[in-house]
Amino acid sequence: MAKRKKRFMTPKAARRRTRKLRARVSERRKKQFSYRGHSLEELQAMPLFPVEGSADGSSVVSLLSARARRTMGRGISTDNEHLRNRVKNSSGRPVRTHRRDMLIIPEFVGTSIHIHNGQGYTPVDIKPEMIGHYLGEYAITRRGVTHSGPGVGATKSSKHVPLK
């Protein structure tokens, strides 16, 4: 049998080899969702607003960012409250809405909401990572401009282009 010659491995090749070995992990664990240290089940069990006289004072609103806390601190408008009730009673059917200023709360997770973008409705499946964001962030209202070529006479060189 012929002996195999041992090759010198550069540091870069060694790093690449160890990366490949690490990537061969038999199963990848899915990262567990948490929002500010709370699981989705805990968030859904919490009250939306702080309850008077409760000892811990934990609520979903107290965990939100400053802008969202300020918005919710003013209270939910009647239209947004109506949307909240419609989503709660939707029983799996998508809900259509124009309310782009509604914050996504844990009650909405798992539902499908069709958000109006000015022309039509954009379907959005609400995921746990969307908690604390506004509905309007997921229905883009602007489109990119696509330009065609210059028209006849737009430039000096286009004057000499035959029309047919």
Question: What would the CATH number be for the domain defined by 40-138?
Answer: 3.30.860.10
- Out of 25-39, 103-117, 135-149, which region has the weakest mean confidence (pLDDT)? 25-39
Residue 35's DSSP bridge partners are 38
Question: What type of residue is 116?
Answer: H
Do 83 and 60 contact (CB within 8 A), yes or no?
A: no
55-60's contacts with Cβ under 8 Å and 24+ in sequence apart are: 60/105, 60/106
Tens digits of per-residue pLDDT, 83-139? 999 999 998 899 999 999 999 999 999 999 999 999 999 999 999 999 999 999 999
pLDDT-derived band at 24, boundaries 50, 70, 90: confident
- Which token pair is 159? 């004057």
Whole-number Å distance between alpha carbons of 41 and 47: 12
- Which token pair is 82? 């109506």
Q: What is the SS3 assignment for 130?
A: helix
pLDDT-derived band at 28, boundaries 50, 70, 90: low
Q: In what order do the strands lie in the sheet containing 95-97?
A: 95-97, 112-116, 121-125
21-26's contacts with Cβ under 8 Å and 24+ in sequence apart are: none
Tens digits of per-residue pLDDT, 56-87? 668 999 999 999 999 999 999 999 999 999 99
